[in-house]
Amino acid sequence: MQAIEQQRARTLSLGADRQLIPDMRSTPTLIVLFVGVLLGAVDIAIVGPALPAIQAGFEVDSSALGWVFTVYILFSLVAAPLLAKLSDVHGRRTIYVVSLALFGLGSILVAASGNFSVLLLGRAVQASGAGGLLPVAAAVVADSFPAERRGRALGLIGAVFGLAFLLGPLLGGFLLPFGWRWLFLVNIPFVAIVAAASLILLEDRPRATRVGFDWAGAATLATLLTTLAWGLSHLQIRSAGTLGMPFLAVALLAIPCFIWIERRSADPILHPELLGSKQLRIVGVIAITTGLVEASMVFLPSLAVRAFDVDAATASFMMLPLVAALIVGAPTAGLLLDRVGARPVVQLGLTLTVVGLLLFALAAPTTRSFYAAGACVGLGLSGLLGAPLRYIAIAEAGEAHRGAGQGLLTLFLGVGRIAGAALIGGVAAAAQDELSGHKAALLCLALAGVVAIGLSWVLRREPGNPATG
């Protein structure tokens, strides 16, 4: 009996020692993850101020210039589930550093580009690295932080989205007088510092036994996402038959092919059992709805220009309440998550988002209603983009598939963003005037949010019982 008690004491002591390790290193680890994800997020917003200079330098038209954004969004969407899965196999540190290296290499290619094709190639490489940063960072949080502190950590990382939206244009405006290439060269020292710190602070837990990589699944998934993204981004109500539909048809055909391949793969990119979890399916629907709303925020400055007859610069400043709410709300949502559980935070986020969208769509256009609506949407999105959905995905995916679960969530968010841009553009184009079109599209998104609130009641208050593991 005494021997058993001594062994138990040694076990408890060992457990306490192991628990102290992530506690002592949690703050530096969180900073490394935060800055890495911020680098990838800022490079979406920072390009805006440079577009006129890029267009003049390479003498391209506005249609071609749009590819600077499109390529980044597309390749980050394709890369996210692939790199997240690789982190399950080869370890978080290795794939996080690889993601940073790809992002840095892409930045160098863009800055050194002598023609527009090389610039787009650099953006594709950049985006491939950026796509892996957020899902791998969320998986690192799951590995390194105890369950009672994951919400706060994920909430701080979630604040990246609002901060990037704010810092991107400001940093771009500051560096642009030195030449647009400096907007990308500035990434290099930060990438080097974060990569070096990652090698020191992050841990690798590669899978002990490995099988061949699922190349067939990766190729099929890339085809599916590429054609889906292309089709949705070109889908307009008046020209669907000639632009978007053929690509969407290919994407639909690729779905059963992908499922068939994954069910027969020894180590699938997206384990079929992940979607066997009702909780993850509901999270997927909520994530798509969140992506729809997030994409619509890009059109709010245009709404302000039409509603208040202000210039584009003033309309951009009118977005500050939304951005501030997003920055403040994300860590607050993380704290609430640790105290009350995931479902109430998700429901609160959806409710605030719906209220904000209804204010945008139905309230009389005043600056007060516009700011109030922006604050509601910002607080609502902060309760969805950061901690709660990723927290549920961590719990449901199980330890062996944490990276793949985060990649799947990122995929759902990305599909929602692309579909949201197509929805807003299509409805606005079909309306009699742009203002009424934007309002009608926002009303549609509010209705989608109401449906998501209804589905959220199926979520467990405390996620558990992993689907795989």
Nearest to 442 by CA among 314, 293, 325, 322: 293
* CATH ID of 19-205, from 1.20.1250.20, 1.10.3720.10, 1.10.760.10, 1.10.10.350: 1.20.1250.20
Evaluate whether 234 touches 225 at the Cβ level (below 8 Å): no
Average pLDDT over residues 438-456: 91
Dist. CA 273–CA 400, nearest whole Å = 12
Write down the pLDDT at residue 358: 95
Dist. CA 394–CA 147, nearest whole Å = 10
Average pLDDT over residues 261-284: 83
- Report the topology of domain 273-461: Growth Hormone; Chain: A; (1.20.1250)
- The tokens 């138990």 sit on which residue? 8
DSSP per residue, 182-212 = HHHHTHHHHHHHHHHHHHHH------SS---
Is the predicted pLDDT of residue 208 greater than 70, yes or no?
Answer: no
Q: Which of 3-7, 82-86, 258-262, 349-353 has the lowest mean pLDDT?
A: 3-7
Which residue would you say has higher pLDDT here, 345 or 274?
A: 345
- At 14-55, the pLDDT tens digits run 333 333 333 435 788 888 999 999 998 888 878 877 888 888
State the Cα angle at 56 between 53 and 57, rounded to 5°. Answer: 80
Give 299's pLDDT tier (boundaries 50, 70, 90).
confident
Dist. CA 322–CA 294, nearest whole Å = 11
Give 429's pLDDT tier (boundaries 50, 70, 90).
low
Average pLDDT over residues 392-404: 81
Nearest to 354 by CA among 424, 287, 436, 453: 453
What are the CA-CA distances from residue 181 to residues 35, 51, 339 (Å)? Answer: 21, 11, 46
Q: How many residues does the chain have?
A: 469
Give 347's pLDDT tier (boundaries 50, 70, 90).
very high
DSSP per residue, 272-336 = GGGTT-HHHHHHHHHHHHHHHHHHHGGGHHHHHHHHH---HHHHHHTTHHHHHHHHHHHHHHHHH
Evaluate whether 190 touches 38 at the Cβ level (below 8 Å): no
Range among 257-261, 276-280, 385-389 rated most confident: 257-261
What are the CA-CA distances from residue 159 to residues 41, 344, 383, 398 (Å)? Answer: 11, 19, 10, 25
Is the predicted pLDDT of residue 239 greater than 50, yes or no?
Answer: no
Which tokens belong to 252? Answer: 């639909």
What are the CA-CA distances from residue 38 to residues 13, 158, 339 (Å)? Answer: 37, 10, 27
Evaluate whether 97 touches 138 at the Cβ level (below 8 Å): no
DSSP per residue, 335-381 = HHHHHH-HHHHHHHHHHHHHHHHHHHHHS---HHHHHHHHHHHHHHH
Average pLDDT over residues 350-378: 92
Any alpha helices (H) in 46-91, and if so which ranges?
A: 51-58, 62-65, 67-90
Write down the pLDDT at residue 73: 83
Average pLDDT over residues 81-94: 88
Is the predicted pLDDT of residue 407 greater than 50, yes or no?
Answer: yes
Dist. CA 28–CA 375, nearest whole Å = 31
Write down the pLDDT at residue 235: 63
The ranges assigned to domains in the chain are 19-205, 215-266, 273-461
Dist. CA 127–CA 384, nearest whole Å = 23
**What's the distance, Cα to Cα, between the start and end of the chain in Å?**
34
Which residue would you say has higher pLDDT here, 209 or 183?
A: 183
- Residues 435-458 as b/e (b if ≥16 CB within 10 A, e otherwise) read bebbbebbbbbbebbeebbebbee
**What single letter denotes the amino acid at residue 223?**
T
Is the predicted pLDDT of residue 162 greater than 80, yes or no?
Answer: no
What are the CA-CA distances from residue 224 to residues 48, 250, 260, 288, 464 (Å)? Answer: 28, 7, 14, 16, 31
Dist. CA 114–CA 132, nearest whole Å = 27
Nearest to 397 by CA among 303, 467, 339: 467
Range among 278-282, 401-405, 413-417, 451-455 rated most confident: 451-455
**What single letter denotes the amino acid at residue 393?**
A
The pTM (predicted TM-score) of the whole model is 0.80
**DSSP conformational letter for 465:** S
- At 98-119, the pLDDT tens digits run 999 999 999 999 999 999 999 9
Is the predicted pLDDT of residue 5 greater than 70, yes or no?
Answer: no
State the Cα angle at 223 between 217 and 225, rounded to 5°. Answer: 100
Mean pLDDT of the chain: 82
**DSSP conformational letter for 177:** G
